[in-house]
Structure 1
Amino acid sequence: MDWLFEFPELLDIDTDAIDSAVRGFAVWAGGVLDAITDGLGGLVNGIDWLLSHVPWPLLVLVVVALGWKARGRLRSGVLYGALFALVGAVGYWEMMLITLSIVIASVLISLVLGLPVGILLSGSDRANRVVRPVLDTMQTMPVFVYLIPAMILFGTGNAPAVIATVIYAIVPVIRLTSLGIRQVDREVVEAAKSFGSTKWQAMFKVQIPQALPTIMTGVNQTIMMAMAMVVTCSMIGARGLGMEVINAVNRIQIGRGLLAGASVVVLAIILDRLTQGWFSDRKKGPGGGKEQ
């Protein structure tokens, strides 16, 4: 009766063949992959160079100003600036800037790729049905799986971290861009077309502005997912706060891990509150986004 409790293994998938195929592709396309690696590494290093050459008091003041503008209250800006400075006070300023550089690079690429895809999907039900399972797979796949092909194709360091982060974090901006445009009142769109607007004019002058709060929510979620993934990518050599967390785990240093982890949380909270304030202002108009 064992056959009733032991499921038969009918499919014998050759995983070694998959590994060999990916490695073979990495060798065949080595020149292109190296160029992509150099480009992404240069982007991250350029952002890090820019941030590191800005005086730290000015960066803190920028955070204060952004927080004040986004939340509508000076005390909110001061709070975010104080939290931002607190990370440097515990000795993680340079690591935080590296982490922030990887996040910014990943989010920029995610938006450049994700926004056009979301706009295109919003206008085609068939394309939306085809792409939806792909997005579901990308969003539910364990994050560690993305590290393997990224490392095989692009080596270790910040460049594969950006690739893995983009794949993981791009889904929300695609989904919510498409959803926001689809939710725009059809009568508003028809009214624009009746006044002579073309399909694309109605898209960029009516639908996208109307869908902007939802799109900004997608941007916020992309930033948060990128922040989470950057820490995981320290396992393939991404520098910054994530590497400090990994080192603390490997050496079983609780205090070091708590400080590094708390710094990640502080940076994530600041990014989340600032972007939430932006799309709240878009949604509520003047006087919106007043909560702390």
Structure 2
Amino acid sequence: MKVTKVSGGTSGASAKNLVPVDPNWKPPACWYEPVATPEQLKAGVERLKKGQGKEVTIPVTPSLGWGPDLMVDYYEKGKAQSDGDESYKNFNLGKDGKFWRGVVNKNREYDPEAYDCDKLLFWQDARALPKIAHAPTPDVLAAYAYDQIKVPDTKVELKPEGKSTVNLPTWAWLDKGTFNEVKVRAELPGTGVWAETTAKPVSLHLDPGTSDAKTFPAEGECAVNEDGSIGVPYVKGLSKEDPPCGIQYLRATGGQPYELKASITWEITWKGSGGTGDGLPNGTFDGTQDINVQEIQSINR
């Protein structure tokens, strides 16, 4: 499986994976895909027989490799290993198709389900998918593409910056273009199967880091504006007004700053080959910022 196109994403140290809001949803741990033509498999076995190269076995599952004797018996001479096994003659030379093998998702290689794709290296005719569990259908590619989405760190603009004042609102916003729609396209070469998964930012949730605060809006959920921004930038003269997106701290920090958590919710959809498409669980990514809050200073005369 191959990611062939990424648009609107980000890279570097600030690039992070989304966390699905549904704790029970997981991207695929493994799948099957084509790995060798008959000619390639025969050539690999010939190299093994002659002791050429560094390989001493050929992988027939994600965790199992066979030496030349087993490969010759099974894929050249047609000797099945057990009842019900498929058998092959002369590596299927002359047939139109490829040998397929299970592949483990590198992001989930420690998941026990990563080794569910343990069917021995098998034949699949060209222009068709195997009718087995963990076949790389468009929805599987869409979930894999979801797993490859990278989004920027979530750090909101604040005013006042660095230090807030008790009972005075702190404005929060994200400028247009800070968080763009992200698309990841994955496809299985040579099969015509593909999927494109899109992550679209839809809201910002603010958690003040203390119960001695209130948020704007009251539920702390700031929607994305039509131009892609969130909230409204603070301008001089608005300090006593309620911000469309922000926080009002009711108690000063006592040496230890409050930890403001800002979470962007991303709506996930996909479309794929054969007119397929659907939604996937929303994703989130959290960022934290330290906030110091001071008491209003007054002078007695």
| TM over 0.5, shorter chain | no
Give the TM bin, normalised by the shorter chain: under 0.3
Greater Rg by CA = 2
TM-score by length of 1: 0.23
The structure with the greater share of residues assigned to strand is: 2
